[in-house]
Structure 1
Amino acid sequence: MAPQENEQDQTTPAIELINVSRRFLSPTGKSLTALRDFTMSVRRGEFVAVVGPTGCGKSTTLNLITGLATPSAGEVRVMGAPVKGIDPRIGFVFQTDALFPWRTVIDNVMAGPLFRGKPRPQAQAAARDWLARVGLARFEHHYPHQLSGGMRKRVALAQTFINGPEIFLMDEPFSALDVQTRVLMHEELLRLWSDAKASVVFVTHDLEEAIALADKVYVLTAGPATVKSVYTIDLPRPRIVADIRYQQSFIDYSRTIWADLKEEVETSYARAAA
């Protein structure tokens, strides 16, 4: 019986949003709808990217998965169970650095394990291991302000991966980086994700970034957001992001998905200008 149950667990999606709507009140008291009849499924170990116009509700989607927000209608499930508050199996990487500026790099990375009750020597050893994995072993006693943007993002990745989450939610984590550093961070993220075998939902405005990283790309409509289309990215792994952009299949994906996304971007701009 146990093997059958385990097999069933593995076929259950890591994340499900089923006909979800999310409404909230604006500061003026007007009811606004961020998501409407939104359905998305993420398999175990799958890397999903979400793209859409500015302000269409992409970050709201992540908040619903974490339990920071609740749906007005529909259901959100994580590992087969309804979301009821913050789930320790979920790790979140933000657009802005979520590092403690008064703590050293190693103290930032070991904060999670300490909070979860791990003894300090074990937490410190794990933090050193993760800093080595992201190439920052020599910087453990530095403070965040002494690091470059790319190095701080590596600290943020180590800070998240050290907790062993089964799901990673990433909200435009590399948008502030220069192009060269961003490509390096893509390679770093794919390597760490491949080792962790976790599920990822990656929100981005950069369509090429989405295609280079993801197994599947969700295109959202202009707000209130719903799923307009879903594209399976059939590019071989492991991927070398610096090279894959020049492949004809990558260019074809970019052209096709952009034609779909462009309509929503134009609709969003037209509404903003009205």
Structure 2
Amino acid sequence: MAPPLIELIGATKRFPSGSGAVHTAVRDLTMTVNPGEFVAVVGPTGCGKSTTLSLVSGLQPPSAGQVKVNGADVKSIPDGVGYMFQTDAVMPWRSVLDNVASGPRFRGVEKAEARAQAIEWIERVGLAGFEKYYPHQLSGGMRKRVALAQTLVTSPKILLMDEPFSALDVQTRALMQDELLRLWSGTGAAVIFVTHDLDEAIALADKVVVLTTSPATVKDVFEIPLERPRHVEDLRLTEEFRLIYREIWESLRGEVDKAREKGANRVA
């Protein structure tokens, strides 16, 4: 059996707070992601889900414990990592073509080859004909397609996604979920997908990791035995989906309630 591509082993991350105290975002966090595996991470608001991505990406070092990619400790941004954020990371002064070509160009690819790669991915995400458009001329869903092409054009081995579709309307969000599954299929990339939406987590993932209220640690891990390929809107209507949702929600609900109680106590 192949070793995990990503390992967090008792990882803890502490930050100085504004009051001079220390805030612990995640504590003793242990989880693994295998090559080609799609893992969704859910938990209460502010529990440390995004911090988990920062640790894997090398943007933040752990305060304690270990974070490994390909068996090596993460000390900087590992090779082959693509990161898709909640907010658009497209550059407003660049066209769609130049935005998508920017990743290969930063990696030293010649301009003509970078543009050829970008044109291929623009077509794959359904934006052929929009190469010369600028971000302000596109809808929210189209900008997300640009961001997907921008991320996937470099053929990442690890894809980190921090609530990338949360700002979209319901219909566009479902379309983008299907689009992500279509584009990811066959790439062999491992995905860590952070979301507040349990429906989204189940529809997309091979495995759902439930984090506790802050400071986050892993509470439960659920395998998702739904066949691929998947169409998310059809999947949500099945009895199998509802049974999986009910099981995971029983775990997640307790942490959401704890987070609400903490918030109410702070206000009081």
TM class by shorter chain equals over 0.9
1:89 aligns with 2:90: no
* Cα distance in 2 for residues equivalent to 1:175 and 1:168: 17
Structure 1 runs of 4+ aligned residues shifted over 4 Å read: none
Identity of aligned residues (%): 61
Q: 1:214 aligns with which of 205, 217, 221?
A: 205
Q: 1:115 aligns with which of 106, 110, 130?
A: 106
- For residues 202-257 of structure 1, the C-alpha deviation after alignment (integer angstroms, 9 at most, x for no partner) is 00000000000000000000000000000000000011111000111100011111
Map of 1:5 onto structure 2: none
Map of 1:236 onto structure 2: 227
C-alpha displacement of 1:70 = 0.8
> Which amino acid in 2 is paired with 1:13?
P
* Cα distance in 2 for residues equivalent to 1:194 and 1:14: 18
Please give the root-mean-square deviation of Cα atoms over the aligned residues, in Å: 0.8
Instruction: Using structure 2 for the length normalisation, give the TM-score.
Output: 0.98
> Which amino acid in 1 is paired with 2:182?
R
Map of 1:3 onto structure 2: none
* Cα distance in 1 for residues equivalent to 2:53 and 2:180: 19
* Cα distance in 2 for residues equivalent to 1:124 and 1:268: 47
> Which amino acid in 2 is paired with 1:202?
F
C-alpha displacement of 1:184 = 0.6
* Cα distance in 2 for residues equivalent to 1:234 and 1:248: 13
**Other structure's SS at 2:186 match:** helix
C-alpha displacement of 1:88 = 2.9
1:129 aligns with 2:133: no
* Cα distance in 2 for residues equivalent to 1:244 and 1:79: 33
C-alpha displacement of 1:24 = 1.3
**Other structure's SS at 1:251 match:** helix
1:172 aligns with 2:163: yes
Which ranges in structure 1 are unaligned for 5 or more consecutive residues? 1-7
* Cα distance in 2 for residues equivalent to 1:142 and 1:152: 11
* Cα distance in 2 for residues equivalent to 1:144 and 1:135: 15
* Cα distance in 1 for residues equivalent to 2:259 and 2:15: 19
Q: What is the correspondence of 1:137-216 to structure 2 with a 5 Å cutoff?
A: 137-216=128-207
- For residues 4-31 of structure 1, the C-alpha deviation after alignment (integer angstroms, 9 at most, x for no partner) is xxxx7xx121110001111111011111
> Which amino acid in 1 is paired with 2:101?
M
Instruction: Using structure 1 for the length normalisation, give the TM-score.
Output: 0.96
Which ranges in structure 2 are unaligned for 5 or more consecutive residues? none
Q: 2:24 aligns with which of 33, 39, 43?
A: 33
* Cα distance in 1 for residues equivalent to 2:15 and 2:111: 42
* Cα distance in 2 for residues equivalent to 1:23 and 1:123: 39
Count matched residues: 265
**Other structure's SS at 2:24 match:** strand
- For residues 130-150 of structure 1, the C-alpha deviation after alignment (integer angstroms, 9 at most, x for no partner) is 000001011000000100000
Q: 1:56 aligns with which of 43, 47, 63?
A: 47
1:99 aligns with 2:90: yes
